[in-house]
């Protein structure tokens, strides 16, 4: 078959495709694998019981059931959901937004496909010689799902971080302000907070810096809030959340515990929302009803904030602390460091003396029955010859990501096997 540039680029293998294939195999095909990869949230019984209660209430109401399965929503998304969400953002977060600043899409992955291609690429329809407009990622590593979403090649620029050693076997990435450079081809910046894969939470000072930089260049700063505030709020050390009316915020129901509903929310200026809604309508026609219906019910019952604060945050904090204790126990004789896990539900491990690449380590662990994430996929758009903040490109081949959204048995068993393999490699 003869495929277009679009078909060849987006139809090729990529890190996010490999991730989802592994996730599908572990969760649906081979449950004996010790699954420490992927970004699937944990099963939280209290949350699922709450969802079940609301699902029954919807199913028992003929009018609500018909709205769930029998109608298309408006292009912007469920008006009832948006009208329930906006007061929540106003009162709980202090975000001065209106219904016109909100749009719903089929998952935040879809949201980023639209947003990244809205800004990046060639400016003119037939501008063959037109310079590529680029999205800036000011601090690698970043979510690998962004990496292959753009139709044009070469439009994502990533910058390596600086590293602070915060304690024995602990470190934290920071934005290397001397290394990050923007030019006339830079059309947007993008960060996640908390950051997937490391659990890093950009400081308020760093967010001030990025917002000022974006305003200086008259470009938007896109903030991926999938793991943070306003929900699910998996932020252990810094509950504050940054908001600026010139930024674009992308929210998701996935990490709240509803990845199957495929629901993403964009908060932005009205003109950005209008253009995004038009594109989304061409691609998807309408958005799914299931996630918005459940969220509307949670919001109207005033159950969302207590769910995040009293159920989800303590649940994931306990998981994090257990996983850290396992790492420190089994890696005691290994040269390792863990990024400070300030939010989300990952551990980011750095093996400074690793004698093979992180990809080879991933493959060896898979053969031993443990799925981890190869850290190199999270460093994209970076000049491989560059070195900023004392961090070389080699660093990308020394890291892996683990999730702690599994049972304690799987977490401890997987970490013990990783330590065993690395000990063998170092010997």
Average pLDDT value for residue range 268-285: 94
**3 state SS of 386:** coil
CATH 3.40.640.10 intervals, the chain:
71-302
Q: Is the pLDDT of residue 311 over 70?
A: yes
Helices 290-300 and 62-69, axial angle in degrees (round to 10)? 140
Q: Is the pLDDT of residue 356 over 90?
A: yes
**Res 77: pLDDT:** 93
**Res 306: pLDDT:** 96
* Cβ neighbours for 57, distance < 8 A, ≥ 6 positions apart: 64, 297
105, 77 contact by CB (below 8 A) = yes
Q: What is the dihedral of CA 274, 275, 277, 280, to 10 degrees?
A: 180
**Res 74: pLDDT:** 86
Pinpoint the alpha helices (H) of 243-357.
270-284, 290-300, 304-306, 313-330
Pinpoint the alpha helices (H) of 137-269.
204-216
**Res 190: pLDDT:** 98
Rounded to an integer, what distance in angstroms lies between the CA atom of residue 43 and that of residue 37?
Answer: 15
Specify the fold of 71-302.
3.40.640
Q: Is the pLDDT of residue 73 over 90?
A: no
Average pLDDT value for residue range 221-241: 91
Q: Is the pLDDT of residue 23 over 70?
A: no
Name the least confident of 18-22, 257-261, 302-306.
18-22
Q: What is the pLDDT of residues 142-200, one digit of tens each?
A: 999 998 888 888 899 999 999 999 999 999 999 999 999 999 999 999 999 999 999 99
Nearest to 39 by CA among 378, 352, 294: 378
Specify the fold of 5-47+306-426.
3.90.1150
Average pLDDT value for residue range 317-340: 97
CATH 3.90.1150.10 intervals, the chain:
5-47+306-426
Please state the pTM of the whole predicted model: 0.92
Q: Is the pLDDT of residue 295 over 60?
A: yes
The β-bridge relationship of strands 162-167 and 170-174 is antiparallel
Q: Is the pLDDT of residue 368 over 60?
A: yes
Binning pLDDT at 50, 70 and 90, where does residue 224 land?
Answer: very high
Place of tokens 């290994």: 334
Place of tokens 């907070």: 193
Rounded to an integer, what distance in angstroms lies between the CA atom of residue 401 and that of residue 354?
Answer: 15
Residue 348 Cα distances to 341, 362, 402, 413, angstroms:
8, 14, 6, 17
Residue 168: exposure state from Cβ atoms within 10 A (0-12, 13-18, ≥19): exposed
Rounded to an integer, what distance in angstroms lies between the CA atom of residue 261 and that of residue 207?
Answer: 30
The gap from C-alpha 89 to its chain's centroid, in whole angstroms, comes to 20
The β-bridge relationship of strands 346-350 and 399-403 is antiparallel
Q: Is the pLDDT of residue 20 over 90?
A: no
């Amino acid at each position: 078959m003869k495929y277009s540039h679009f078909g060849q680029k987006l139809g090729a293998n990529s890190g996010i495709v490999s991730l989802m294939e592994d996730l599908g195999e572990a969760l649906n095909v081979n449950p004996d694998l010790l699954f420490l990869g992927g970004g699937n949230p944990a099963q939280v019984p209290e949350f699922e019981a709450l969802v079940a209660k609301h699902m029954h209430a919807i199913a028992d109401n003929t009018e609500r059931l018909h709205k769930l399965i029998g109608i298309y929503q408006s292009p912007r998304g469920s008006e009832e959901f948006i009208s329930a969400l906006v007061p929540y953002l106003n009162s709980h977060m202090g975000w001065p937004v209106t219904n016109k600043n909100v749009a719903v899409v089929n998952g935040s992955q879809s949201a980023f496909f639209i947003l990244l291609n809205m800004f990046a690429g060639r400016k003119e329809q037939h501008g063959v010689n037109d310079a590529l407009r680029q999205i800036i990622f000011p601090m690698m590593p970043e979510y690998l799902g962004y990496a292959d979403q753009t139709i044009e090649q070469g439009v994502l620029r990533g910058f390596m971080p600086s590293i602070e050693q915060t304690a024995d076997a602990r470190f934290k990435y920071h934005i290397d302000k001397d290394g990050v450079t923007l030019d006339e081809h830079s059309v947007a910046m993008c960060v996640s907070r908390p950051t997937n894969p490391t659990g890093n939470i950009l400081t308020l000072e760093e967010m001030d810096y990025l917002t000022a930089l974006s305003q200086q260049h008259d470009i938007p700063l896109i903030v991926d809030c999938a793991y943070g505030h306003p929900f699910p709020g998996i932020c252990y050390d810094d509950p504050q959340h940054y908001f600026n009316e010139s930024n674009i915020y992308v929210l998701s129901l996935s990490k709240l515990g509803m990845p199957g509903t495929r629901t993403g929310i964009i908060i932005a200026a009205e003109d950005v929302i209008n253009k995004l809604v038009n594109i989304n309508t061409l691609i998807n026609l309408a958005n799914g009803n299931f996630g918005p219906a459940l969220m509307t019910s949670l919001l109207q019952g005033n159950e969302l904030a207590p769910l995040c604060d009293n159920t989800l945050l303590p649940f994931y904090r306990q998981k994090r602390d257990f996983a850290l204790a396992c790492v420190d126990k089994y890696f005691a004789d290994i040269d390792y460091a863990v990024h400070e896990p300030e939010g989300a539900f990952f551990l980011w491990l750095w093996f400074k003396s690793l004698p093979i690449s992180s990809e080879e380590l991933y493959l060896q662990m898979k053969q031993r029955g443990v799925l981890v994430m190869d850290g190199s996929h999270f460093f994209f758009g970076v000049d491989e010859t560059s070195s900023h903040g004392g961090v070389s490109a080699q660093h990308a081949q020394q890291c892996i990501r683990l999730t702690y959204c599994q049972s304690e048995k799987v977490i401890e068993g997987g970490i013990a096997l990783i330590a065993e393999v690395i000990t063998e490699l170092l010997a």
